[in-house]
Structure 1
Amino acid sequence: MDRTKLPECWQQRWLEQEFQKPTKIQEAVFEPLLEKKNIMGISPTGSGKTLAYLLPLLLNVEKGAGNQLLVLTSSQELALQVTEVARVWGKDLNLQVQALIGGANVKRQIEKLKDKPEVLVGTPGRILELMKLRKLKSHLLSAVVLDEADQLLQKGSGELVADVVGQLQKDTQLTFFSATADEAVKEIAQLSQQELLTVDVTKEDDSKGIISHFYLRYPSRKKVDALRRMAHLTDFQGLVFFNQLSEMGNAEEKLLYHGLSVASLASDQSKQMRKLALDSFRSGQAVELLTTDVAARGLDIPNLPFVVNADVPLTKESYLHRAGRVGRMGKAGTVITIIQDNQLRDLQRLAKELDIQIQEIFLHGGSLQTEPPIHVSEETERKIRKPSKPTEKIKKTVVGKEKKKPNRKRKSQKDKGKRRK
């Protein structure tokens, strides 16, 4: 990708966005996508994959020719994020972009489709629904992108994606992007009947910032207390991941009870609630955003300093994508996983599989420390409390004198004399 060969309006946009040179994935896929080749693009999280596929594919879109480019995403949040990016760059080419996601009013979406937007971004369920209603002209689509392809092709959504692809023309350009797309090679091969070019720049990519990985030992019953204490740390803002939706809900309730500014992002929330939660976190109003793996894919939260795993991720892919919310485009970040002693081996196994170094961290004295805090042992504490032998003798002597009670003794002798008389 030669930036100087982009349209002049995009060259100006590039400077306004304060981008430097194109990332490895942006360089590697630009020409093949422009030449309408089918591609599987693999690069680390936060390496600019969205622009990597949008820029060349938008250049192939013809203004006023109806629906031509479709981007399928694994979540509503990612769909809206991609829509925003596509609108910024598509506006310079006078292209219309429309989001088509579940949870939004389908009648309004159908009305907007009458304007024949050239670029569509959506989730598989809603896209398939509109195709079956014949409101989305699938035969016009010349290119389809599967963003976070391996997650889209998992059980549940994979069937929907297959049905969507089944509606396309045989010569429709298919592209697949993800940091872990290679985990779904078999599924991708089944969808793509044509020759597929694999572009993997994982080893060459240099866009990622320094990410520090830590684990924090905390009893399970006090996990929320750890989150509460983190929320009070200076300059802390964290995306907090849970494995279970129920645990996330309980934690949010307790943190709100303590008066903390937290929000939650869950799959069972309405579109408005999810947008409100994300907006409050992005603006810095919420110090913690509690979520599940629904927010682990593709979300870009500028300058996010912390990711906290309230539970040990169940798979290495889950850990990788959660951690990918920090360290994006050269920025530094920290990942902290809260564990119990019996979970350390599972976490170390994940770290080995991902080839990352992970060390223990301590939450003490209102700060995070890599050195263990100095605790007085029980034996030392007993010695401090237990008086030395000389002190004991003095104490016994004093107590003994007190027990003699001389006044009473004199009174007793006087009484004795009276009795003798």
Structure 2
Amino acid sequence: MIQGKLPTKWQARWQESGFSEPSLIQEQVFEPLSKKETIVGISPTGSGKTLAYLLPTLLQVKPGEGNQLLILASSQELGIQVTDVARLWAKDLGLKVQPLIGGANSKRQIEKLKEKPEVIIGTPGRVLEMMKQKKVKAHLLQTIILDEADQLLLPETIAFVQGILKFTTEDVHYAFFSATADVALPAIEKIVTKELEVIDVTDLNPKNTGVNHYYLNVSKRQVVDTLRSLSHMKDFQGFVFFNQLSELGSAEEKLLYNHVPVASLASDQSKEMRKLALEHFREKKIRQLLTTDLASRGLDVANVPYVINVEVPMTKESYLHRGGRIGRMGAPGTIVTLVQDHTVRDLKRMTKELAIEVTEVYLHGGQLTIERPAKIEHKEKKSEEKIKKVAKNTEKKTEKVSHSVAKKKKIKKKKDQKNKGARKKRTPTIHE
């Protein structure tokens, strides 16, 4: 157990944080990172990856010797979150932590860098900018951690990462962390020539039975009304994920018009607005945080019970990462995906591939229930009876029309025969 290897101050903090025992990823990577081995840590979202890399690497950092540990984050929100966690544990060791987050005031960051922080946490673009200005002493760096490595090594960001690595020395050691091995590994192998030790605990993690997966069948026009109804449920608070940013904006506008306490977290917002939305969500001032896959990575908001997918996610990875916002470290939670008749099969195919059981749920009486409400059954029964009644009436009308047509044909036939006979009588013979 890693607790016995922690400093006395950290053991007390471990207890204060409410941890009983380390997660699998924390246990598995502690020794390799302590030995400065280059590793790839793969573990599901919500399994404690941040502390998994922070604890062993912070112990290697020496106070007062400048920039030694660099942690690259895939988003501003993740960078801020990792900074908060790192500061909490670093202060016990007398270490300074400096965030270099894109969107923040760069002049202020430069002033802080003059204090020679031992730990730097930032987004790739801003970190590279500071390295080019020689504000970050890249030659002093001993360890670089890439959190959410698969996102950091996407085509739009990999150039920044490669630029950062060019500034570092050959003996720097790396650690990569991700929740999806099949996506992360090919990208990592493109930039690292060193031998990689892959530590994948995905299959070792017991299935989190505390998280329930449901789908709710509603029409597209009912989506906003459904979100409004969900927000009124007792103890409801949840991340609401959209596939498209335009749909998010439209839904937010309608929900706010109806006085539903919501906020959005979107890529087109300023850093201050995004920070404020997260603060209000954490303080439970709002019941729904509307967002895209922007918030599906790394964000840790304690005790959020729901994740709502407004539509079926685009990929399996997206479904997993979104769901990772709840059920963290074994906590209970509920995932509800809104579907229509033509999309429910897509969800079932996706969850089947993920070996996840998904159940239909109904919104009735202000609550979610897996039992078909009698009201729905009565409505469907009434609808079936109406269909049968219409069909019966149609059949009667058809019979009546058919009978009427047949009668008219019969009358016409008799009339034609009568007229034919009359014409025959009037027709003169040849003898006449």
TM-score normalised per structure 1:
0.89
Q: For residue 297 of structure 1, what is the aligned residue in structure 2?
A: 297
Q: Distance in 2 between matches of 1:84 and 1:209?
A: 30
Per mean C-alpha deviation after superposition, the further-off stretch among 161-170 and 101-110 is 161-170
RMSD of aligned C-alpha atoms? 1.5
Q: 1:17-416 residue pairs with structure 2 within 5 A?
A: 17-206=17-206, 208=208, 210-374=210-374, 375-376=378-379, 377-380=382-385
Q: Is 2:248–2:290's contact at 8 Å kept on the other side of the alignment?
A: yes
The CA deviation at 1:182 is 3.4
SS in 2 for 1:92: helix
CA 1:222–1:164 in structure 2 vs 1: closer, same or farther (change >3 Å)?
A: same
Tell me the alpha carbon deviations over residues 101-154 of structure 1, each in whole angstroms, 9 at most, x when there is no partner. 111001110110000000011111111111111111111110011101111111
The CA deviation at 1:166 is 2.3
The CA deviation at 1:157 is 1.3
AA matched with 1:378:
S
Q: Distance in 2 between matches of 1:383 and 1:189?
A: 64
The CA deviation at 1:155 is 2.1
Stretches of structure 1 that go unaligned for 5 or more consecutive residues are 385-421
The CA deviation at 1:205 is 2.1
Tell me the alpha carbon deviations over residues 206-226 of structure 1, each in whole angstroms, 9 at most, x when there is no partner. 494621101111111221111
Q: Distance in 2 between matches of 1:383 and 1:350?
A: 37
Moved over 3 A (4+): 206-209, 379-384
Q: Is 2:296–2:325's contact at 8 Å kept on the other side of the alignment?
A: yes
Q: Is 2:2–2:30's contact at 8 Å kept on the other side of the alignment?
A: no
Q: Is 1:38–1:195's contact at 8 Å kept on the other side of the alignment?
A: yes
Q: Is 1:207–1:328's contact at 8 Å kept on the other side of the alignment?
A: no
Q: Is 1:316–1:354's contact at 8 Å kept on the other side of the alignment?
A: yes
Q: Is 1:224–1:254's contact at 8 Å kept on the other side of the alignment?
A: yes
Q: Is 1:100–1:122's contact at 8 Å kept on the other side of the alignment?
A: yes
Q: Is 2:178–2:184's contact at 8 Å kept on the other side of the alignment?
A: no
| Rg (Cα) greater in structure | 2
Q: Distance in 2 between matches of 1:172 and 1:341?
A: 54
The CA deviation at 1:2 is 2.7
CA 1:46–1:288 in structure 2 vs 1: closer, same or farther (change >3 Å)?
A: same
TM-score normalised per structure 2:
0.86
The size of the alignment, in residue pairs, is 384
AA matched with 1:118:
E
Q: For residue 424 of structure 2, what is the aligned residue in structure 1?
A: none
Q: Is 1:46–1:208's contact at 8 Å kept on the other side of the alignment?
A: no
Q: Distance in 2 between matches of 1:234 and 1:381?
A: 36
CA 1:185–1:379 in structure 2 vs 1: closer, same or farther (change >3 Å)?
A: closer
